């Protein structure tokens, strides 16, 4: 019951309640000070709205992959974008996988994600940094990162983080291509630049913000989506070209 208070309410806040951060402009949105048992939201995310939430993640990821190709001036953006159309809840047709293959063929035709090379190392290193930030935001929001929406490996302690971070992967892809300039192993300086992925700018809620701030808002919005059983409340980011005056759409 306490978590239901994150949904827009038609009643004024009572004692022990305060305006919900998920609906800061909603005069009747209430957030009770009582906190549910740790991890209950993680179970809720997977069992109640899992397929619809995963659809939102997949669509956002594919759209951002198309944007990444456009930002980099590469071909294939329209082709990749087309895979985001008609994604069904749970993505039973695996449009995410098909789009990813098409995306990487245009991004780096010779790239083999199973090989050890500097670009793969950069992609993995950057993704690990984003994963850690997302996992932290999920814990703060009351989730157990191991209980995923789509990823469900018993050996992975970050299944939910891997789910939610998917739309941010193209940010890592762009930065990795900027950082890797040779066939040598990643240098300390290159790793330092990759850690800057959390300071890259994305668009969320029609506002420009850092990836780090976006992960916090994504965790909060997932809590609202699972509490209200409304997947549309989950926020997903839009990637932007860096160092420009690009505005949020």
Give the pLDDT confidence of 96-121 residue by residue, as tens digits. Answer: 999 999 999 999 887 776 667 788 88
Q: What is the largest CA-CA distance in the chain?
A: 62
pLDDT for 200-218, tens place per residue? Answer: 999 999 999 999 999 999 9
Residue 13, judged by CB atoms within 10 A of its CB (0-12, 13-18, 19+), counts as middle
Q: Report the Cα 243 to chain-centroid distance in Å.
A: 22
Do both 194 and 105 map to the same domain? Answer: yes
CA atoms of 166 and 163, how far apart (whole Å) = 6
22: which residues sit within 8 A by CB, 6+ positions away? 6, 29, 31, 220, 221, 223, 224, 233
In a domain, residue 11? The reply is yes
pLDDT average, residue stretch 224-231: 91
Do both 10 and 73 map to the same domain? Answer: no
Do both 16 and 87 map to the same domain? Answer: no
In a domain, residue 27? The reply is yes
Residue 137 clears pLDDT 60, i.e. is over it: yes
215 in Cβ contact with 234 (< 8 Å): no
Closest listed residue to residue 69, CA positions, set 56, 55, 81, 57: 81
- Give me the domain span that covers residue 142: 38-239
- DSSP letter at 248 equals P
Do both 108 and 135 map to the same domain? Answer: yes
- Phi/psi of residue 99, each to 5°? -65, -40
In a domain, residue 248? The reply is no
Do both 91 and 133 map to the same domain? Answer: yes
Do both 111 and 58 map to the same domain? Answer: yes
CA atoms of 35 and 146, how far apart (whole Å) = 20
| CATH of residue 112 | 1.20.120.920
Do both 87 and 49 map to the same domain? Answer: yes
Total domains in the chain come to 2
The model carries a pTM of 0.81
Do both 166 and 143 map to the same domain? Answer: yes
CA atoms of 209 and 94, how far apart (whole Å) = 31
Do both 3 and 113 map to the same domain? Answer: no
Do both 4 and 99 map to the same domain? Answer: no
Do both 30 and 143 map to the same domain? Answer: no
The confidence band for 236, taking pLDDT boundaries of 50, 70 and 90, is: very high
CA atoms of 176 and 120, how far apart (whole Å) = 9
Do both 92 and 2 map to the same domain? Answer: no
């Amino acid at each position: 019951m306490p978590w239901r208070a994150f949904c827009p309410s038609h009643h004024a806040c009572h004692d022990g309640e305060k305006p919900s951060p998920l609906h800061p402009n909603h005069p009747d949105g209430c957030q009770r000070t009582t906190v549910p048992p740790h991890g209950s939201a993680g179970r809720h995310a997977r069992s109640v709205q899992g397929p619809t939430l995963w659809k939102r993640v997949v669509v956002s990821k594919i759209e951002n992959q198309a944007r990444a190709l456009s930002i980099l001036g590469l071909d294939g953006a329209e082709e990749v974008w087309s895979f985001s159309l008609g994604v069904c809840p749970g993505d039973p047709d695996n449009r995410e996988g098909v789009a990813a293959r098409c995306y990487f063929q245009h991004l780096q035709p010779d790239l083999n994600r199973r090989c050890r090379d500097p670009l793969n190392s950069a992609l993995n290193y950057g993704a690990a940094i984003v994963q850690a930030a997302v996992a932290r935001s999920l814990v703060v929001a009351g989730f157990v990162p191991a209980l995923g929406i789509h990823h469900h490996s018993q050996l992975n302690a970050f299944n939910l983080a891997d789910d939610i971070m998917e739309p941010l992967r193209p940010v890592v892809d762009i930065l990795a291509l900027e950082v890797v300039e040779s066939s040598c192993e990643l240098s300390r300086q290159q790793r330092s630049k990759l850690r800057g992925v959390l300071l890259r700018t994305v668009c969320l809620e029609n506002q420009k913000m850092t990836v780090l701030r976006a992960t916090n808002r994504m965790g909060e919005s997932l809590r609202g989506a699972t509490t209200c059983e409304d997947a549309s409340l989950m926020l997903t980011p839009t990637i932007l070209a860096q160092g420009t005056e690009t505005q949020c759409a």
